[in-house]
Amino acid sequence: MVVIRYFNCLLFGRLTADLSHRLDDIPVVQPHLVKRGSRQPIVHAKNDQLVGGWTPSSLQHLRRDRPPHEVFVELDELVVDGNQELQWREMARWVKFEEELEEEPEHWGRPDVPSLSFRALLQLRKTISHGTILLDLKQRTLPGIAQQVVEQMVISDQIKAEDQAGVLKALLLRHSHPSDEKDHSLFSKDIPTASMATLMDRYNGQSEPSKNLANHREADGEKNKSRIKHDVKLMEKIPDRAEATVVLVGTVGFLDQPSVAFVRLQEAVLLESVLEVPVPVRFLFLLLGPPTPNIDYHQMGRSISTLMSDKDFHEVAYQADDRQDLLTAINHFLDCSIVLPPSGINGDKFLHSVASFQRDLLQSREEEEKSGKLPEKPTGIQPDEDSLVPSKPREDALRRSGRLFGGLIKDVSRRYPQYLSDLRDAMNPQCMAAIIFIYFAALSPAITFGGLLGEKTEGLIGVSELIVATAIQGIVFSVLGAQPLLIIGFSGPLLVFEEAFYNFCKVGGIDYLTGRVWIGFWLVLIVLLTVAFEGSILVRFVSRFTQEIFSFLISLIFIYETFAKLVKIFQEHPLQNCYRGNNTLFSSTCNYTAAAENHGKVVGEPNTALLSLVLMSGTYFIAFYLRKFKNSSFFPGRLRRIIGDFGVPIAILIMVLVDYSVEDTYTQKLSVPSGFSVSSPEKRDWLISPLGSDGQFPIWMMAASILPALLVFILIFMESQITALIVSKKERMLVKGTGFHLDLLLIVVVGGISALFGLPWLSAATVRSVTHTNALTVMSKPVNPVEKPRIQEVKEQRVTGFLVAVLVGLSIVIGEVLRQIPLAVLFGIFLYMGVMSLNGIQLTDRLILLLMPPKYHPDQDYVRKVRTLRMHLFTLVQLTCLSLLWVVMATAAALAFPFVLLLTIPVRMLLLPRLFTWRELQSLDADDAEPHLEEKEGQDEYSQLQMPV
């Protein structure tokens, strides 16, 4: 049998004339091609007028006062239960995809893309062309709807007058569902004609349909009590504000011909006991007819159900003014479908070409549509020139206003009116889980980078200063910032600059902390000028090419610093050949060696390096696999999500307990100061004098500080604005907007003033900000394994960032507890954040493709549209720029690192267009590329979005 494989096509095809011309030679199709007579009424219940006449442009003038909704479709069939009672039995349902009721044992099958019979689709089109169409029916009860449908069927000669009562009683039969607490094992939908006549005669003994309805309600009394607890999983799949379509099909022996009615209600209404879930019904489709081998009523019911679940068709169904609109939409659906010949091929691997064929077909049709060869697909919601409510485009935060501080004013006026919602939206368990996770994610780099900064500046700036700066600047930004999803923190590029500037001051005999104060003064002046003239709009020139290089570099810094610290532990505590046993002489030799190299620091301890490696690896792998645990098949989904959300704290707790249980092995613990004090009280105080400790700071250095200030500003500008771009990508579905000008002003001004207190400069930390946004992202639950989870919303609020900053500040108070955490555990968190931030970076994916044969390359846009060698050339260009940045960062030229980073922008704008075509760059460097979703087919739908840079 010829089968149509329906792939939920994304655009309409040719007009009806095209399809009709192609199908003219098919006898089944010819009788119902756009012929309308008295037997085919179309009733608009608003004015009871018959609508006639149709032009090819009718779909372009569909009514716009009926906005389309998402659709839930339920297919009920007429069956006989074990007690020989007729009722409607739910056999399938659609939430974008089809779920069929399977028997023995009775359960719902897996959601799947429906396969439809070509013959059933043609028969469906024929019956609709002759059937009853009721549009905008003003009825709110099932008896009222049934009465109107039956009357119109009699008028259209679909049924005889003497069959009116039988059809009406059939419509008012009770509905049963698999979720009902009854035994449905004896249901049968194969009803002989004689049995059906006997059953209907029994129901015909009742003089009024209302009696049947009363029995219906009485029988459902107990069932409704149990149905209060609806299928929670099904309700979660159904989108908000969805409306239902009820499809009723069945065979009855007293009818002479198939009878069809398509009903669209004026308002969606809840029909008691009809649906499995409490979703208001907007559409009803009825197909009743005599048993005949030439018509498969079940397949016709599946066909109309699939059509109604198709986005394009049900939009037309909402807007349709007459029968021809529906017929044209069916033709478009057929034109987008693919016919599989009856080849008898076994194995799904031979059908892989179907998806690629349809993709190419739809792409070619889209190109023809754009070029004008095909009319645009009619969605029924096209803009109208005379519309009184024009569509409001999304405001561009990087659009120049043309006046001083215009961008800053727009940021404030756009973001601050939503302040109350920023507080209300935080009342969510997901936000509470995010606070704990991000607290450790923010504390770990604060302590680790603080320790590195203390080593590179010889204790002038260390852990204490970095914790205080992270807390203060984080609190200020979360309260006043325009994009509170950003997490303020220290970063690798800033560490490189601090080390280079300290070495410069040390060689030149300049007071390092005083020089930072003057850099801070210049920073405030530079950012005021930048914000006044709306300089933040320059970030629009930072393309995906530069973003990927910068994000990849920061992730590498995280990973490199982790292993660098681990190597240092192995150097300080090498693996020893001696053993501390009963041999006192041999043991004293080992102790003597360790003491000679100590210099006040614990070194040479046995097993320390190995235990540190175990703690770091254990923390990383536990956090990594607990995150993967969300996608497993163990335990209920809610429990899995809780475990996954708290994966990092769980990993830290387990590894701390492991370290505590190993009592005879030394491990380096967190170095947290006791109380509110600087890292080196003997060298500095909290307040730094702008004139130097001796009042002799050189005047020329005060003016020359503008150069390093410009370098610091470039670093903060690039990292903060690129992070804001990443977080604000349109695929994240943020609704409250962002503010590049306001955020930059706050970060730089607060950082510049902080230099007076010897605190480090901070910026919007890319990895922590993306991790924070991921933790607050709510993903949709796909109704089919082949469907990818989509972002539903992001909890845009200020409370999580505020509480994280407060907890980081309180870490000084709870220093006694934090001093029990081994430093190697934080190395594991460092490694986890660096590796996780590599996910979703297209550069990472293309680096993997370098080692992969082309036949195994994924089905990505940049793979399909760019030749493999050209794609690898683009990757090598990015690797060259990345290597150059790393070399500059690791040498004495580290002060020039910000300028080298800026050079990647002209490389993209001037050099790459000479090496690649515009089409190649659109595929490799597109800003609107699809986000990377990390999930596995057939497993739990809950997943997090990785960094879409």
Average pLDDT value for residue range 130-139? 90
Identify the pLDDT of residue 770: 81
Sorted by sequence, the CB contacts under 8 Å of residue 325 that are 6+ apart come out as: 58, 59, 62, 316, 319
Which one is predicted more confidently, 276 or 105? 276
Identify the pLDDT of residue 829: 81
CA distance 36 to 53: 9
pTM for the model: 0.63
Q: Say how many Å lie between the first and final Cα of the chain, rounded.
A: 47
User: Which spans in 850-906 are helix H?
Assistant: 861-864, 868-890, 897-902, 904-906
Which residue type occupies 843?
Answer: L
Q: What is the mean pLDDT of the chain?
A: 77
One-character DSSP codes across 516-553: HHHHHHHHHHHHHHHHHTTGGGGGGG--HHHHHHHHHH
Q: Which of 247-261, 555-569, 637-651, 740-754 has the lowest mean pLDDT?
A: 637-651
Structure tokens at 765: 């930390």
Burial, 479: exposed, middle or buried (Cβ in 10 Å; 0-12, 13-18, 19+)? middle
The three-state DSSP-derived secondary structure of 659-719 is: HHHCCCCCCCECCCCCCCCCCCCCCCCCCCCCCCCCCCCCHHHHHHCHHHHHHHHHHHHHH
Examine the pLDDT at 299 and tell me if it is beyond 70: yes
Which one is predicted more confidently, 908 or 46? 908
Average pLDDT value for residue range 881-908? 84
User: Which spans in 249-351 are helix H?
Assistant: 297-309, 311-319, 323-335
φ, ψ of residue 83 in degrees (nearest 5):
-90, 15
Average pLDDT value for residue range 665-678? 78
Sorted by sequence, the CB contacts under 8 Å of residue 570 that are 6+ apart come out as: 609
Identify the pLDDT of residue 518: 92
Examine the pLDDT at 675 and tell me if it is beyond 80: no
φ, ψ of residue 3 in degrees (nearest 5):
-125, 140
Please report, rounded to a whole number, the percentage of residues in the chain having pLDDT higher than 90. 19
Give the confidence band of 262 by pLDDT, cuts at 50, 70, 90.
very high
Average pLDDT value for residue range 624-643? 79
CA distance 329 to 449: 61
Which one is predicted more confidently, 666 or 641? 666
Which one is predicted more confidently, 102 or 247? 247
pLDDT single digits (tens) 924-934: 887 654 434 34
Examine the pLDDT at 812 and tell me if it is beyond 90: no
Distance of CA 470 to the CA centre of its chain: 29
CA distance 810 to 804: 10
Identify the pLDDT of residue 380: 43
Sorted by sequence, the CB contacts under 8 Å of residue 446 that are 6+ apart come out as: 463, 466, 467, 470, 489, 490, 808
Identify the pLDDT of residue 725: 84
CA distance 750 to 741: 14
Examine the pLDDT at 942 and tell me if it is beyond 70: no
Identify the pLDDT of residue 383: 40
Examine the pLDDT at 188 and tell me if it is beyond 60: no
Give the confidence band of 302 by pLDDT, cuts at 50, 70, 90.
very high
Give the single-character DSSP code of 909.
I
pLDDT single digits (tens) 335-344: 878 877 776 6
Give the single-character DSSP code of 933.
B
Which residue type occupies 375?
Answer: P
Sorted by sequence, the CB contacts under 8 Å of residue 906 that are 6+ apart come out as: none
Average pLDDT value for residue range 637-663? 83
Examine the pLDDT at 250 and tell me if it is beyond 50: yes
Examine the pLDDT at 521 and tell me if it is beyond 60: yes
Bridge partner residues of 488 (DSSP): 764
Which residue type occupies 675?
Answer: G
Bridge partner residues of 71 (DSSP): 243
Which residue type occupies 55?
Answer: T
Examine the pLDDT at 105 and tell me if it is beyond 60: yes
Smallest CA-to-CA distance from 62 within 51, 73, 78, 72 is with: 51
The CB density around residue 376, as the number of other CB atoms within 10 Å, is 12
Examine the pLDDT at 619 and tell me if it is beyond 60: yes
Please report, rounded to a whole number, the percentage of residues in the chain having pLDDT higher than 70. 75
Give the confidence band of 401 by pLDDT, cuts at 50, 70, 90.
confident
CA distance 696 to 604: 44
Identify the pLDDT of residue 754: 92
pLDDT single digits (tens) 69-85: 888 999 999 888 777 78
pLDDT single digits (tens) 431-458: 887 887 788 778 877 877 887 788 788 8
Q: How far is residue 77 from each of residues 177, 189, 465, 504, measured CA to CA in Å?
A: 11, 7, 72, 83
> If you compute the radius of gyration of the chain from its CA atoms, what whole number of angstroms results?
35
CA distance 803 to 471: 10
Smallest CA-to-CA distance from 667 within 447, 827, 451, 822 is with: 822
Examine the pLDDT at 22 and tell me if it is beyond 50: no
φ, ψ of residue 793 in degrees (nearest 5):
-165, 165
Examine the pLDDT at 569 and tell me if it is beyond 50: yes
Give the confidence band of 181 by pLDDT, cuts at 50, 70, 90.
low
φ, ψ of residue 779 in degrees (nearest 5):
-95, 145
Examine the pLDDT at 745 and tell me if it is beyond 90: yes
Which one is predicted more confidently, 655 or 351? 655
CA distance 237 to 918: 41
Judged by phi (left if over 0) then psi (alpha if -120 to 50, else beta), residue 498 lies in: alpha
The packing angle between helices 311-319 and 297-309, to 10°, is 80
Examine the pLDDT at 782 and tell me if it is beyond 70: no
pLDDT single digits (tens) 831-852: 887 888 787 788 888 999 999 8
Which one is predicted more confidently, 757 or 791? 757
Identify the pLDDT of residue 584: 47
Average pLDDT value for residue range 604-613? 87
Give the confidence band of 612 by pLDDT, cuts at 50, 70, 90.
very high
CA distance 818 to 825: 12
